[in-house]
Structure 1
Amino acid sequence: MKKQALASLIALSLSTPAFAQDDEVKPFTMEGELGFISTTGNTDTTSINAGITANQEFESWSNDYNIEGLYRQETVEGDNGEDVDVTSAQKFFASAQGNYKLENPDNRLFVFTSYEDDRFSNFNYQATVAAGWNQKLIQNKNHKLEYSIGPGYAFVETQEGESQNSMIVRASTIYSWKISDTAKFTQTASTEVGDENTKSRAESALTATISGNLSMRLSFKLDHNSQVAEDVEKLDTETAVSLVYNFF
């Protein structure tokens, strides 16, 4: 049934014209994000989240890059009654996707790879490679929407050193809405379905321009794994307010 549904989705996308409209596209864009929170008093914590996203547009290729990092430190009372600084979150994620444009540039073939190292998750690391079909459904002045779907392979190692490598099917979507000249909403979502685990990520973000290339972003992220140890939560969430600088 899954194979039939996947074949039907691909056939429908091939037979349906993309509702894309040409808009000015920059050959290279890159922006950096940085968020910092420090609290003192009854609770002492320090949180830092940072990231870089970039896009390259060539005649035959469209490439996307993403790097994210999260670090949190808390002060807690130790066994001897003295305050001790402990790390409560330490996460790194990086991904890259290349889209090869076909005769209709809205229809493309993609190659994707990612790597995640989350110290406090169920996994020592999670890496993915995938390839398949990518299509731009909408691209105009205010709205952009595209999706990708295809098979791949997940390289996974648990904190106990157990290998959980498996074949997967990866699907993702990216939506962007330019609300005004100074405000933008973006929504990304992806899922990697495998025999050992289903990994899903999503982010909703609202970005508002402060001045020139500097903006403020409010974001909410979800990170879910279907198969984890009994003492590990399946769902991680992250809410952040960050400064964003548009380099190009």
Structure 2
Amino acid sequence: MSPNKASIALVLCALFATAPSVAKEKKPLSMDGEFGLIITTGNTEATSLSAGVTGTQELEDWSNEYSLAALYKQDKVTSTTGDVTTTATKTSAQKFFLSGQSNYKLTKENQRLFVFGSYEDDRFSDFKYQSTVALGWNQKLWDDAKSKFSYSVGPGYSFSQGQDGADLNSVIVRAALEYSHKLSDTAKIKQSLSSEFGEANTKTRSLTSVSATINGALSMKVSLKLDHNTDVDEGSDNLDTETAVTLVYSFF
């Protein structure tokens, strides 16, 4: 493992270890798992299967958020040379994303300090990997029975490597917004948006979703994910999209 990847791994491990280290009593915890069909456009053109896990935890002094997502697809490609026809299996989509954020609660309600880490490995992008560590200010502007809205902003560092092996590391400023609104007792809409502004590249990620409860802990979700990079190779798309319909199960 390279020093850059090792640094990101240490940050993510620290974030995921925060909960048990500070928990003195049982606090609300939620975890959802999802599986479904994705239609992708941009640098990856495929119909693929996806899976993911998200979790949140509210402790006395900390608020933690975790996310894990994977995308994978194989195609059978048939080619004919003369009278000979061959069939081969080809991977057309392979993507892995992991992130975690811990927010330390200050004495004033809804004002917090955050530490964030993420790692993304997308075989069919212009990058072998993209990773980020950041820290700064987080605040809930409101959080009521119908909706909630929060933002985070702070400096950080981006570790990334192009497919040619060139390192594209830089100091960044990370800004993120999260909004959710309860449409009814069984339906809700969520919107998250983040941008990482750096000298080498500016990466923006948007995720919009609408979900509705089917029965008990099972729900259906329709989502649109946008990933945009300003610095890509010639002939590559700046924008990748994922449109998904997934089944979501709430474990607790």
Relative to the length of structure 1, the TM-score reads 0.84
Deviation at 1:105, TM superposition (A): 2.8
Offset from partner CA, 1:60-92 (integer Å, 9 cap, x none) = 100000001111222333353433331111100
Q: Distance in 2 between the 1:181 and 1:49 partners?
A: 27
- Corresponding residue of 1:161: 165
Deviation at 1:46, TM superposition (A): 5.9
Where 1:163 maps in the other structure, the secondary structure is coil
Offset from partner CA, 1:138-177 (integer Å, 9 cap, x none) = 1000101000000000011111110011000000011001
- Corresponding residue of 1:222: 226
Relative to the length of structure 2, the TM-score reads 0.83
Q: Distance in 1 between the 2:206 and 2:138 partners?
A: 18
Percent identity between matched residues is 55
Cα pair distance change 1:37/1:197, threshold 3 Å: closer
Where 1:90 maps in the other structure, the secondary structure is strand
- Corresponding residue of 2:75: 74
Corresponding position: 1:102 with 2:106: yes
CA contact (8 A) 1:46 1:74 kept: no
Where 1:114 maps in the other structure, the secondary structure is strand
Deviates more, 1:29-38 or 1:222-231: 29-38
- Corresponding residue of 1:49: 50
Q: Distance in 1 between the 2:47 and 2:174 partners?
A: 35
Corresponding position: 1:212 with 2:213: no
The 5 Å alignment of 1:8-87 reads 27-36=28-37, 47-78=48-79, 80=81, 81-87=85-91
Give the superposed CA RMSD.
Answer: 1.5
The 5 Å alignment of 1:172-187 reads 172-187=176-191
CA contact (8 A) 2:38 2:242 kept: no
Offset from partner CA, 1:6-48 (integer Å, 9 cap, x none) = xxxxxxxxxxxxxxxxxxxx6100000101479xxxxxx7621
Structure 2 unpaired stretches of 5+: 1-26, 40-45
Structure of greater relative contact order (alpha carbons < 8 Å, 6+ residues apart)? 2
CA contact (8 A) 1:128 1:154 kept: yes
Tell me how many residue pairs correspond in the alignment. 217
The residue type paired with residue 34 of structure 1 is F
Where 1:82 maps in the other structure, the secondary structure is strand
Deviation at 1:236, TM superposition (A): 0.4
The residue type paired with residue 165 of structure 2 is G
The partner residue of 2:126 within 99, 122, 129 is 122
Structure 1 unpaired stretches of 5+: 1-25, 39-44
The residue type paired with residue 62 of structure 1 is S
